[in-house]
Structure 1
Amino acid sequence: MNGKKPDLINIRIGEEISSIDNIIEGYKSYQVLRAALTLGLFDWLDEHGPALREDIGKALSINGMFTRSFFQTLIDLGFLSGKDDRFGNTDLATRLLVRGSPAYQGDWILNAADGNGQWDNLAETLALTAPKNTGFSEGPGPQFLRAAGERALRGEVQGITKILSTWDGFGNAETLLDIGGGHGLYAIAACQQNPRLHAVVFDKPHVVDLTQEFIRQYGMEDRITVMAGDIVTDDPGSGYDIVLISHLLYKFRADLPAIFKKVCNSLKPRGLFVSNHWFCGPVCGAGSSGVRELDRSIHSYGHPLCHPEDFASAMFMNGLVVTKRATIATNFGDSQVHVAEKVPEGQSPLPRQERSCGCSSCQ
């Protein structure tokens, strides 16, 4: 630009600014929903029923000058209903935004703006060259782990459980190991479908207290236990009928052969291994919006897994043969499920297949 000062009357912003306005409006709408959750608005209305605007404001310490527009925004978003200055939860809010609901998504919503989260510090996140090494006993906090459980309930827990239940050996299975299971919902769902099944959720020490909360919530204390450990350095035991790993292996790419060998050693002969992870598409970024692709990258430590054929071959080389592959829709795109059985003794491994999705992480 030259040094001449522009005449303000000639500056033109243009109608195109509306697209930026829409982005900002979306941010403000999110903050309204976040505030409603933080204030406990939906929980209060669920307990007390529809109430006058003034009474709600007093109960939740909301300044009366804001209540009308605050509640109207929530009506516009579809979360409140209102008539004659009396407001209540919609069915959508009761199902998804009341903490006692089985389908509650509040922690997932709040986690998006967590002060220590990767989206709230996106510039720092984009500069990372490797996952943060938080140490053996440190890592994501309870809100993140609850959020992960709420996300899994959008279809992954149900999908994995259906896949398990179609396995011929599921009805006779007695033991299940969920490695890096966190919230434990996969183990809980499997035990609900098979009354003979007992499970162990294996995760780091900072996680297992929260796991026990979920176990108690679903009344599974007598059938599901927790074990603190690290799959890279510790032994989760042996003699399991089923082993599950879901969205754990992204930061362990170099350790996959050793982890698969450990999984094999944990299984009984003909035992079942189920892996649930995101992989690159034929071309990274194809078939997904930029925001979803970025979100998936953030939640898979910078990049999803690559070479699903090599992934399956690495299993076979370490005693596991893939018998079935499936996909499960997630809010980050399709997740690929590999179902494998412990390889019978004497069976030779499959030839290694070299394929690339074309991205630098795969080369």
Structure 2
Amino acid sequence: MDLVIERTELATLKAPPALATVRGIVNGFKEFQVLLAGYGSGLFDWLEANGPAEKATIGAALNLRGAHLGAFLQVLEDLGLLAREATAYTLPVGMKEALAASSPWCQAATLEALLVSSNGWADMQAFMTEGWPPKTWQAPQTLALHPFLTEAQQLAAALASRSGQGCGGAALKTLLCFDGGDGLLAAALCQRFPELRAEVVVAPGAQQRTEKALLECDVAERCQVLVGTPLDSVTHETFDKVVLFHSLYPVRKFMTDALAAAAARLAPGGELCCAHWFCLEACESAPGGLRDLDKAVLTDSHPLCGVEKFCQRLEDAGLIGAERADLAGDFGNTKLHFARRPGGGRGC
């Protein structure tokens, strides 16, 4: 039987305008691959040590294909990752910190982590499919690259400011921190309060990372690392301050019990601080969805719900003076909630 093939008129094949949007996104993927190759080939580190250098010298030193090297270097120059002086290439002023392996801010490990199978960004289709199995989160190689660093710094500053105002205890001596940031918040607070002693509660998979972070920050001798969740009775002591830092997501279905357990660990007059991401009312979406997916990949959880009722939740747990604030971070606003245990004569 003869096959009937529909005639294609080449002159009529014109790309619709909609393709420009998709192609722009695809170009972003290609630029990612060029940047990844820049790190992987050792180009940035070699130029830090040997630049400025001619194209032929770079190719010979790094065993790069000469036929395509010009285009490769041009893309990096177009992206602002290389600078050219006549025909010699070098690292642009101010870019060494992000490109050279000698810098704690070098982003090579961040890019590589995006391709690891346990990272939802490596296969977003699989991550978005029901049945995605919990996987081990890939920790960054340096504390400078930790996704919660900025929030830990800012929250520690905010809590120090509150203590300076007399709320939650001007002389902060004891802390119970359910730290979803691998101990970064506890470390930042210990560095701000030299007399502070902390018990740091983390998920089982985060214990080793947390102990390493506390050592690097030189506060390990003042911190005891415990494994558990806000639901667990990991300690029977009471504290000047209890902080729940991105730690309620796994126990969101037992929020009442978790908040009651945290409140019970406060000394009279002590302050509870909760720092978490919340969704919009009725879980509505809004512009900024890429940052929302960042949160989802980091926590493998939905943000907390019902921000408008959370102060009441704290008061239902027996606390008083509940209040709310926003903390701007790399992934949008984190909602801060504060309340204190009655008593203690602090007068806040």
Taking structure 1 as the reference length, the TM-score comes to 0.78
1:20-44 per-residue CA deviation (whole Å, 9 max, x = no partner) reads 2211110011122223334454455
1:47-66 alignment runs, 5 A limit:
48=49, 50-52=51-53, 53=55, 56-57=58-59, 60-66=62-68
Deviation at 1:125, TM superposition (A): 1.8
Deviation at 1:77, TM superposition (A): 1.7
Residues 96 and 104 in structure 1, CA contact (< 8 A), matched pair in contact too: yes
**How many angstroms apart in 2 are the aligned matches of 1:99 and 1:316?**
49
Tell me what 1:19 maps to: 21
Tell me what 1:116 maps to: 118
Gaps of 5+ in 1: 346-363
Instruction: Give the % identical residues.
Output: 27
Q: CA RMSD in A?
A: 3.2
**How many angstroms apart in 1 are the aligned matches of 2:102 and 2:223?**
22
Structure 2 residue matching 1:209: 3-state secondary structure: helix
Structure 1 residue matching 2:311: 3-state secondary structure: helix
Structure 2 residue matching 1:253: 3-state secondary structure: helix
Whichever of the two has the greater Rg, that structure is 2
Structure 1 residues 133, 111: CA separation in 2 closer, same or farther (over 3 Å shift)?
closer
Deviation at 1:305, TM superposition (A): 1.1
Structure 1 residues 303, 73: CA separation in 2 closer, same or farther (over 3 Å shift)?
same
Structure 1 residues 98, 268: CA separation in 2 closer, same or farther (over 3 Å shift)?
farther
Tell me what 1:5 maps to: 6
1:1-363 alignment runs, 5 A limit:
5-9=6-10, 10-46=12-48, 48=49, 50-52=51-53, 53=55, 56-57=58-59, 60-99=62-101, 101=103, 103-128=105-130, 132-133=133-134, 139-143=136-140, 150-153=146-149, 155-167=150-162, 168=166, 169=168, 171-282=170-281, 284-321=283-320, 323-344=322-343
Aligned residue-pair number: 335
Residues 148 and 181 in structure 2, CA contact (< 8 A), matched pair in contact too: no
Which stretch shows the higher mean deviation, 216-225 or 262-271? 216-225
Residues 56 and 66 in structure 2, CA contact (< 8 A), matched pair in contact too: yes
1:82-114 per-residue CA deviation (whole Å, 9 max, x = no partner) reads 324543333443333445545555444433333
Residues 107 and 146 in structure 1, CA contact (< 8 A), matched pair in contact too: no
1:271-293 per-residue CA deviation (whole Å, 9 max, x = no partner) reads 22222111122464454234334
Tell me what 1:354 maps to: none
Structure 2 residue matching 1:113: 3-state secondary structure: coil
Which stretch shows the higher mean deviation, 217-226 or 250-259? 217-226
